[in-house]
Structure 1
């Protein structure tokens, strides 16, 4: 059966589904009756407009379906579009206006409930008329329920509820919903309701159940131990399974079902009693190809099976019409019921068909079997056998081009046998304990080998997904390709409703290459949920090894198209010899599109070996470690739209053979804000690899963030030894400039009482530089040290730890010191500590603990704290001594003029620059510029800068008081013979200064900005300087006009046919062009909105009463420091308290 034939079968069922709805919408009377059935009072005057639109859609769809069934050239895609518009029309009812709804109907209730009622009523009517067995089965399982509803505003009606979650819960082995529906496991068990549903189901199956009186002896046995014997059910539901009408009517096999009442020990349950002859073997052909069989073994007549909540199945023989309450012993018996449908005419049943392939079956058998003694561990089982299932995969228009190249034109067909079984433990495939099974095949079709077929059923609480695929091996020249998971799949969501059938892409692709000297392999995985391809490839060509890692995401979080991350590394032996003993043994590169660098992830992974996954992964172990490498790369370079990562990698060495190797990569993240990351791995093995005495392995991470004006380096020492002793430790470096200048260097951490500078991720959890001198179960001796440097401190320390244990006795101790030195004002703090403890069995016998502190020099302070313990005696010792001058060391006053004068005379303080946004296009010859000369572009300007704030009254320089000069200004600059001042083109140049370094702030230090822009120098533009020289010679400029193809005459070609594909593109472009024209002529000239510009915060001196800018000073939009000084400079006649400093945005204009 082709795809169109499959779709024709679906169309026939759709007509059956829509026919009742179409008839209900044909006239006003029919619609009024239909609405009354659904609980709406709608007068039979006219069909409301909101529903008449739906009627048009239904009629249009039915007419299109009829035309499709009558034509062989109609396209199913058109019907799919109309069906979707039909569902859309149903959904639009929920948003109609009140005027479109009859006044006899509550509008809000109608909009909310009627669309869902339409779908439920159509589905239920279809099942009742065309699939009664399915309808009754869904009702039995509690998926479909009908409840009578009566309200004040609506007529009495039956409310239909369809809960698809219950059906999917059954598929995953959850029977909670059925138990809730019939109150199974409760005293008020709805047994009669369940028996009525079972009776309806057997009627839909073609049986003739009967209600019969329960025999007296059987009733007494069922009522044994009942709490209320008088309420015991006195009837039984008799269901015949096999009957014959000739030579006399006789039931060969049947079962009676009754309710077991509640007893003191057990909750109510069900009893099934078998009746009929023993040893039955029966077969009957019900229709063409449909055969029913029944077979019993052992004595089943009168066998009763008791099922109660929380109890094992109990079996009692001789229960039917028993003379008394006694029963015989347990019995061994087998019951087998089978229903088989065969398709033997050469046209197997099509289960699934698309343009990409099909799934067909030759025979379907449903088998119910109960076997055993009905004791603990015995089970009932229902199996459905699918014999000779054929899975055909053919390349189509939507097939991936790579997959289509591997498949032959006629496709690939595989045949398997499959069975599905349902038991007490749930639903599963035969040969597997779950809803997923792999069936090995290993058959070849030309260059294609089908290795196995995998069948999977994935139910959830809302959808049901069926997949059938296989592992296919193909050979393309020297390349062997293995596709895993290629097949067909279907997804069902009945709540929408929605059914999608499509080819499932391979979840993995394996590659194996062998061509001449090139050999190797790799794999490519596909994560369908995240739409991500990832893989690794390791190849070798002679002495060159190639390793490649790739991650491609085809679905972005924000809806973008894709992101890509690829890393390729090539290593070669012998290495290329460079100068000074260095060698080059590898090159590589990394590129990321719509990817960024996660610096924090790199910092976190520095100690976890993440760098080894990025820099030159070992080709020999690439494939086994591919999952971890891909995960590390995906974490370090996550997806982000509009960001790009690029960078080269090199593998260097020194020595012959290499005793030092370094893998280095420099990566850039673009565009703004630009970020640069340096990754490095250093390995040193001395004196040689065969006999190493020193092994150093160091991972380095450097981050340069231009937007933050910050440079950081981190290093981690791991898997290193010195003379066989393990060594480890971390280090970090920080350099910040611009608004927040900072500096810090640490080897092994900081002093315990020193707060590490920001950011905390750089200096967090730094391990001490340590060496394990002895490390075994009985003796552990470790030495650790650290050293750190900041702009105003020096820190270092070390500690020796000892742990010895033997025969239950323990000796522990440590000896160490910590030193913290501040440069300005000079001070230091030294701490020494020591401890020794002897214990046995957890009890301390002797211990000595001592701590010494020494700080100074003004004053000198010494403290001692000690404790001595011997057995149960403890002696504490504690004292402190202070001596020397307590007056702090005075800081010598400085004159900043000396530094200003010296810096202005330096060549490095003078520079030339171009205007903002301009670049230099000229190139100067090297011999034209001397080392001491400064080249100034005609459009540029001359700048001079120094490190003291200009135009401010200074009270300190760093931590030293100021003497002599406390205010500096550059009033003029001499350029040749010309003097440039403020009125002739001298402009200030500003930089950020730390205000607390130049002014005594006191308590105000917490309320003013830490860094403010102040004048650091001046600039002179070339326009302010007159340059004398020879006048420029005049030059005549003439334009030459050239005509190309001037003699060519235009002509008009005759009419010709336009291909359909070209016409589609032309029409699409025409529609878009006309849409822009209809938007109005002005829309073509609308500029993009301007970007926001963030101005630097300025301050003004304002009147305290009106908060308006004070006219007593011209201070406006200036730095906070200059505003404060302007406020202090007000004359005493105008007291400063009448004015105050505020930000510009607070000033009342």
Structure 2
């Protein structure tokens, strides 16, 4: 169900908001917003009425309580203008706070070549840079054409902005065009940035290029600073290109100091705050634990758990089951890959995986191009939880023979006591079906093996390492990692580099293939 509303302010069409608010339930619980915002400001000069501002914006939004995300999209419709300048472009907002948390805000697009994070959203809600229209101010649109385009984007780990000025003029069969612009991206963790400048001037006679000047340059850093630039000059069929590649400044010396990762992980696993007693998944609980105040918990540092609950540990210091190249800016020495297993009464038991968000660039080495293309955060294993059937065990038990006493009464005459026949296992188990123990939560779980299922969720996008020729699966991947040939993009990219280092004959012969998500 929902409501529709129209709100107007001022005389005429000065400000009009038309919106619909829709609530969808019971499942999924979603709040939808649809609407249109329009504004028109005019000024009368003499006998003419001049449009000063004309704005039309269509928008839609969604707040999903079950899948834990919020989205908002807006489009400035063509025909909107301020004075004589046309305005158009797209705006987008994405926020998730569930299994994968993060946010993306964009007005007009993103840095060229940068791929927005999926944030675990449905595919139709993932932002596509190629489909987003830049914010444009069109000063002249006919002949000549003069327009300014720009964008601004903010994500969990980046700040991006850029602008470009475009000019075009035609006279008879001559055409001249020019473009000047820049693109900039800042990465917060680890800090680095890239700034690119480009310029182009073309003069054509019909379809023939008479003269052309093309300039481009990218500055990146710090530690060290790098500049890559290229200039091309063309006159008719003659071309001349000049390239510049410079690198200066000292490497950050702190990156050369190695660090042992194992003590960091051990310290995190000893932190009581990383351990959690999960409640039983069902609504009925066998017992209720008395709550303790914060002072008691800090003094005892004891984790209390329901009899049919689960024990979970998850840390955010470093990802597990991943070969680490570094921690922060420091290379790793000693053990580089870690896993967490569990023992109950000296026996290995199964564990459910626990994942958390990690910045791949803090633990893996990537090239400059890979850093731009890869998502800033991805999910890696951070710990595990003991499965409930593994916890409901005990070495403390007593054996007792199941027997009963038999007495016979007949017409008041005393009858000698008779020996009870031995209990049959089949009949004994049948008699237990209605007993209080079998009807308890533990008894039901043991007898039926029922499981509580989580709600369906969108799978994370996974990649497999395959041979570039024929796209057949790379069979030796199990030599390098546990868990098979399905992993996130950052791990797969780093693993290809490791394989190529150990097997040089495979260089440039391996690639990634999406296998899920």
After TM superposition, the score normalised by the length of structure 1 is 0.24
* Residues 825 and 891 in structure 1, CA contact (< 8 A), matched pair in contact too: no
The equivalent residue for 1:668 is 23
2:132 is paired with a residue of what secondary structure?
coil
* Structure 1 residue 994 corresponds to structure 2 residue 356: yes
Q: State the alpha-carbon separation in 2 of the partners of residues 961 and 871 from structure 1.
A: 50
Within-5 A mapping of 1:251-270: none
Larger Rg: 1
CA distances 1:1039-1079 after superposition (whole Å, capped 9, x unpaired): xxxxxxxxxxxxxxxxxxxxxxxxxxxxxxxxxxxxxxxxx
Alignment correspondent of 1:774:
140
State how far apart, in whole Å, the 2-side matches of 1:653 and 1:889 are: 60
- Aligned residue number for residue 9 of structure 2: 654
- The structural deviation recorded for 1:659 is 2.2
Compute the displacement of 1:800 (Å).
Answer: 1.1
Q: CA deviation at 1:950?
A: 8.9
Matched, 1:726 2:86: yes
Partner of 1:234: none
2:64 & 2:383 partners in 1: Cα distance? 22
1:686 correspondence with 2:56: no
User: Which residue number corresponds to residue 444 of structure 2?
Assistant: none
CA drift at 1:839: 1.2
Question: CA RMSD for the aligned pairs?
Answer: 4.7
Distance in 2 of aligned mates of 1:675 and 1:953: 32
Deviations 1:213-240 (A, max 9, x none): xxxxxxxxxxxxxxxxxxxxxxxxxxxx
Contact 1:712 1:733 (8 Å CA) reproduced:
yes
User: Which consecutive unaligned segments of at least 5 residues does structure 1 have?
Assistant: 1-645, 897-903, 905-912, 919-937, 963-989, 1016-1088, 1097-1149
CA contact (8 A) 2:100 2:379 kept: no
Q: How far 1:705 moved relative to its partner?
A: 2.3
SS of alignment partner, residue 1010 of structure 1: strand
Go from structure 1 to structure 2 and tell me whether the alpha carbon gap of 1:693 and 1:890 turns closer, same or farther (over 3 Å shift): farther
In structure 2, what is the equivalent of residue 451 of structure 1? none
CA distance in 2, matches of 1:840, 1:998: 51
- Give the drift of 1:797: 0.7
Would the aligned equivalents of 2:327 and 2:363 in 1 still touch at CA under 8 Å? no
2-side partners of 1:772 and 1:748: how far apart?
A: 14
Report how far residue 1002 of structure 1 moved.
Answer: 5.9
| Structure 2 match to 1:245 | none
Confirm whether residue 798 of structure 1 aligns to residue 163 of structure 2.
yes
For residues 810-840 of structure 1, what are the alpha-carbon distances to aligned partners after superposition, in whole Å with 9 as ceiling and x for unaligned? 0012111111111111111111110001111
After TM superposition, give the deviation of residue 999 of structure 1 in Å: 13
Aligned-pair distance for 1:796? 0.7
Alignment-derived partner of residue 197 in structure 2: 832
Q: Secondary structure at the match of 1:755?
A: coil
Q: Which residue of 2 aligns with 1:756?
A: 116
Secondary structure, in 3 states, of the residue corresponding to 2:51? coil
- 1:541-578 deviations in Å (ceiling 9; x for gaps): xxxxxxxxxxxxxxxxxxxxxxxxxxxxxxxxxxxxxx
Give, in angstroms, the shift of residue 842 of structure 1: 1.8
d(CA) in 2 for partners of 1:992 and 1:683? 48
Q: Secondary structure at the match of 1:761?
A: helix
d(CA) in 1 for partners of 2:251, 2:2: 58
Equivalent positions of 1:260-299 (< 5 A) are: none
Name 1:1094's counterpart in structure 2.
Answer: 453
Counterpart secondary structure, 1:693? strand
Counterpart for residue 70 of structure 2: 711
Q: Is this contact kept in 2: 1:956–1:998, CA < 8 A? A: no
Give runs of aligned pairs for residues 366-381 of structure 1, distance below 5 A.
Answer: none
Q: Is the 8 A contact 1:808 1:840 kept in 2?
A: yes
TM-superposed deviation, 1:1090: 12
For 2:364 and 2:112, the matched residues in 1 are separated by: 28
| TM-aligned CA distance change 1:692 to 1:794, over 3 Å | same
The verdict on how the C-alpha distance between 1:1095 and 1:686 changes in structure 2, with shifts beyond 3 A counting, is closer
CA distance in 1, matches of 2:3, 2:86: 33
CA distance in 2, matches of 1:794, 1:740: 20
Report the CA distance between 1:674 and its aligned residue: 2.2
Are residue 815 (structure 1) and residue 183 (structure 2) matched? no
Q: How far is the alpha carbon of 1:708 from its aligned partner? A: 2.3
Distance 2:157 2:245 in 1: 28
1:537-936 paired onto structure 2 within 5 Å = 646-656=1-11, 659-686=14-41, 691-718=50-77, 719-758=79-118, 759=121, 761-762=124-125, 763-764=127-128, 765-776=131-142, 778-887=143-252
Q: CA shift at 1:870, angstroms?
A: 2.3
> What is the rounded CA distance, in whole Å, between the counterparts of 2:227 and 2:381 in structure 1?
39
Matches of 1:800 and 1:917, distance apart in 2: 62
Q: CA deviation at 1:959?
A: 6.7
CA contact (8 A) 1:862 1:880 kept: yes
Contact 1:955/1:999 (<8 A) preserved:
no
- 1:955–1:1000 contact (8 Å) kept in structure 2: no
* Partner Cα separation in structure 2 for residue 1002 and residue 871 of structure 1: 48
Q: Deviations over 1:430-475 (max 9, x none)?
A: xxxxxxxxxxxxxxxxxxxxxxxxxxxxxxxxxxxxxxxxxxxxxx
Q: Deviations over 1:138-157 (max 9, x none)?
A: xxxxxxxxxxxxxxxxxxxx
Distance change (3 Å), C-alpha of 1:787 and 1:995: closer
**C-alpha distance 844-783 of structure 1, shift in aligned 2 (>3 A):** same
User: Aligned pair in 2 of structure 1 residues 890, 686: CA closer, same or farther (>3 Å)?
Assistant: farther
Distance 2:450 2:198 in 1: 61
Output aligned runs, 1:1070-1085, within 5 Å. none
What is the correspondence of 1:342-357 to structure 2 with a 5 Å cutoff?
none
Secondary structure of 2:124's aligned partner = helix
CA drift of 1:857 comes to 0.7
Q: Residue 939 and residue 756 in structure 1: after superposition, are their counterparts in 2 closer, same or farther (change >3 A)?
A: same
Q: For 2:452, what is the secondary structure of its paired residue?
A: coil
TM alignment of 1:959-974, pairs within 5 A: 960=328
CA 1:840/1:739 → structure 2, altered by over 3 Å: closer, same or farther?
A: same
Q: Distance in 2 between matches of 1:650 and 1:702?
A: 16
Contact 2:74 2:92 in 1 (8 A): yes
Cα distance change of structure 1 residues 813 and 880 upon mapping to structure 2, 3 Å threshold: same
What is the distance in 1 between the residues matched to 2:70 and 2:256? 33
Count residues with an aligned counterpart. Answer: 314
TM-score (norm 2): 0.52
Contact 2:86 2:137 in 1 (8 A): yes
**1:159 paired residue number:** none
* SS in structure 1 of the partner of residue 233 of structure 2: strand
Distance 2:256 2:36 in 1: 46
Q: Using CA pairs below 8 Å that are at least 6 residues apart, which structure has the higher relative contact order?
A: 2
Cα separation, partners in 2 of 1:960 and 1:891, compared to 1, 3 Å: farther
Contact 1:858/1:888 (CA < 8 Å) preserved in 2? no
Aligned-pair CA distance for 1:728: 0.6
Structure 1 residue 686, shift from structure 2 partner: 3.0
Tell me the distance in 1 between the aligned counterparts of 2:255 and 2:164. Answer: 35
Separation in 2, partners of 1:884, 1:740: 38
**1:1010 maps onto 2:372 in alignment:** no
1:380-420: CA deviations, max 9, x gaps? xxxxxxxxxxxxxxxxxxxxxxxxxxxxxxxxxxxxxxxxx
Distance in 2 separating the partners of 1:790 and 1:874:
41
Greater helix proportion: 1
The answer as to whether partners of 1:772 and 1:781 remain within 8 angstroms in 2 is yes
Deviation at 1:997, TM superposition (A): 6.3
How far apart in 1 are the matches of 2:156 and 2:150?
Answer: 21
C-alpha change, 1:787 and 1:1000, in structure 2 (3 Å) is closer
Aligned to 1:46: none
